[in-house]
Structure 1
Amino acid sequence: MKYFAFLLPFLFINLIKAQADEEVKVKYAVETFFYALNGKNEHAMKRVVKSDILMQTVVTLNESGKMDYRKNGIQDLIYFMSSTPDSIPFHEKILDYKLQIDGGIAHVWAPYEFWYNGEFSHCGVNSFQLMKEKDAWKIIHLLDSRRREDCKPISDQH
């Protein structure tokens, strides 16, 4: 019994280290997604998303505040990236990350600001669902919100 008490702290430390390693890998997948988006890099994006990723956007439809959602596909996002001229820069700036992991699934909550052609466009939050595939994490679902009201851009330095 005293050997177990002696080993318990080491087991606990290894468990914490394994969880921290997974958090780094999950955050890497999400950061790679934004690196790819902001850099218009289709190949980098495809490395961190499943080909059948579900993408949805929650939007306010009109002055009454009625909410709805739109389905998108990865091809829609890639088209946006490739069809936006290089003379028109865009940048999605992530303000924070909140991660949750359980075994082979992870959730990332990431508030953001979106800048288009040097101007603040909108803000919202990205909700990522990821799954572990071998030793890497892949994004399987992305739900985002977009709004112009109640946005407080951190800065115009993007």
Structure 2
Amino acid sequence: MRPILLYIFLITGSVAVAQSSTEGIRIQKTIDDFFLAFHQQDTTFIRTLTQSSVSLQSVVVGNEGQIRVKSEGFGTFLKSIASIPSTTRFKEELHAYKIQHDDRIAQVWTPYSFYVNDSLSHCGVNAFTLYKDESGRWQIVGIVDTRRKDCN
């Protein structure tokens, strides 16, 4: 009887790992698609990847060294993306993905470097919060980032 229980445990454990791995891939694809749309300045596609009340925040250090959280409206964010001149090259390069998820929510941590016209502008970390909607799609509900100039 024990070998049968062990066999069932191993099979169901393998299925759980496979499902978890599949969800991680789907979550990462949402983030990858977000940056693809960002780099292409495709605000329409970005809207399909985000929940309508998505929150955008940055943890910033002011000129006097004070640390604060700056919030930005999603519409303002989309307008700023759309208004980047075609002569300006920009790229946010993600260095890694740390994905944690449960049934309906996920957190993704992505260290990054941001380049403007091939020069390093700043670096930091993005923290994405996502949820899985009733159709099974992962959507971004929040983004918090840090930005710093000392990118060693």
Q: Give me the TM-score of the superposition, normalised by structure 2.
A: 0.94
Name the structure 1 match of 2:48. 47
2:54 paired with 1:56 = no
Deviation sequence 1:41-65 (CA, Å, 0-9, x none): 1122111111110110111111x42
Aligned-residue offset at 1:39: 1.1
Name the structure 1 match of 2:107. 107
Aligned-residue offset at 1:6: 2.3
Which amino acid in 1 is paired with 2:57?
A: Q
2:38 paired with 1:37 = yes
Task: Determine helix, strand or coil for the equivalent of 2:149.
Answer: coil
Name the structure 2 match of 1:79. 79
Name the structure 1 match of 2:65. 65
Name the structure 2 match of 1:120. 120
Name the structure 1 match of 2:7. 6
Name the structure 2 match of 1:155. none
Deviation sequence 1:13-52 (CA, Å, 0-9, x none): 1000000010001101111111111111112211111111
Aligned-residue offset at 1:69: 1.4
For residues 4 and 125 of structure 1, the distance between their equivalents in structure 2, rounded to whole angstroms, comes to: 44
Deviates more, 1:40-49 or 1:137-146: 40-49
For residues 117 and 6 of structure 1, the distance between their equivalents in structure 2, rounded to whole angstroms, comes to: 57
Name the structure 2 match of 1:156. none
For residues 46 and 141 of structure 1, the distance between their equivalents in structure 2, rounded to whole angstroms, comes to: 13
2:38 paired with 1:19 = no
Share of identical aligned residues, percent? 29
Moved over 2 A (4+): 1-6
Task: Determine helix, strand or coil for the equivalent of 2:100.
Answer: strand
Aligned-residue offset at 1:105: 0.6
Aligned-residue offset at 1:136: 1.1
Task: Determine helix, strand or coil for the equivalent of 1:87.
Answer: coil
For residues 73 and 95 of structure 2, the distance between their equivalents in structure 1, rounded to whole angstroms, comes to: 24
Which amino acid in 2 is paired with 1:40?
A: Q
For residues 127 and 24 of structure 2, the distance between their equivalents in structure 1, rounded to whole angstroms, comes to: 16
Q: Give me the TM-score of the superposition, normalised by structure 1.
A: 0.90
Which consecutive residues of structure 2, in runs of 5 or more, have no partner in the other structure? Answer: none
Task: Determine helix, strand or coil for the equivalent of 2:129.
Answer: strand
Deviation sequence 1:117-141 (CA, Å, 0-9, x none): 2221100100001101121110001
> How many residues are aligned here?
150
